[in-house]
Amino acid sequence: MKLVSATEMDIPFAESLVIHNMDPYFREYGMNWDPDRFRENWAQAIPLILESEGSRAGYVSLVMDDTCTYIRDLQIVAAHQGKGIGSWVMRQVEQMSRDRNLFKLRLRTFHSSPATTFYRKLGFEIKKYEEATVGMEKVLTMSCISEEAVLIGQVTSDES
């Protein structure tokens, strides 16, 4: 498995995957798909395609600011769900965040989505309740090696 930078050519794949996976929740909460908003979000984010066994197995969209990584979308193709791929992607996102000294992950998911349970198992906590969604957050720790080096004063600006 690997995550690769998405291109404009990946927009139809990512958009159709989001629509397919999220349609039941849009209907449940009386929401409509907005293709313009999807494309705006795409342009502002770091879109990544998950490749597995030579095919596109999913899509993740991230926004990283000075304090936090926001996971806008994590979508896995149905045939690849239940195989640990989502957990693998989240471990990659955590490492990418740590590499940028970002120690908070945030996301939103629908109240009724099984994703809420998935994210809780990964250490996310519900921080905000909204009409149709919950806002979740996970605070990351530094890696053991980095934390130990900081504690004994071995990290210098040249090493970071």
Structural contact between residues 36 and 78, judged by C-beta atoms closer than 8 angstroms:
no
- Res 74: pLDDT: 97
d(CA 17, CA 129): 26
- Res 141: pLDDT: 82
pLDDT in tens, the chain (160 residues): 999 999 999 999 999 999 999 999 999 999 999 999 999 999 999 999 999 988 999 999 999 999 999 999 999 999 999 899 999 999 999 999 999 999 999 999 999 999 999 999 999 999 999 999 999 999 998 655 444 444 444 444 444 3
- Res 143: pLDDT: 58
Q: Is this structure's pTM higher than 0.95?
A: no
Q: Three-state secondary structure along 92-128?
A: HHHHHHHHCCCCEEEEEEECCCCHHHHHHHCCCEEEE
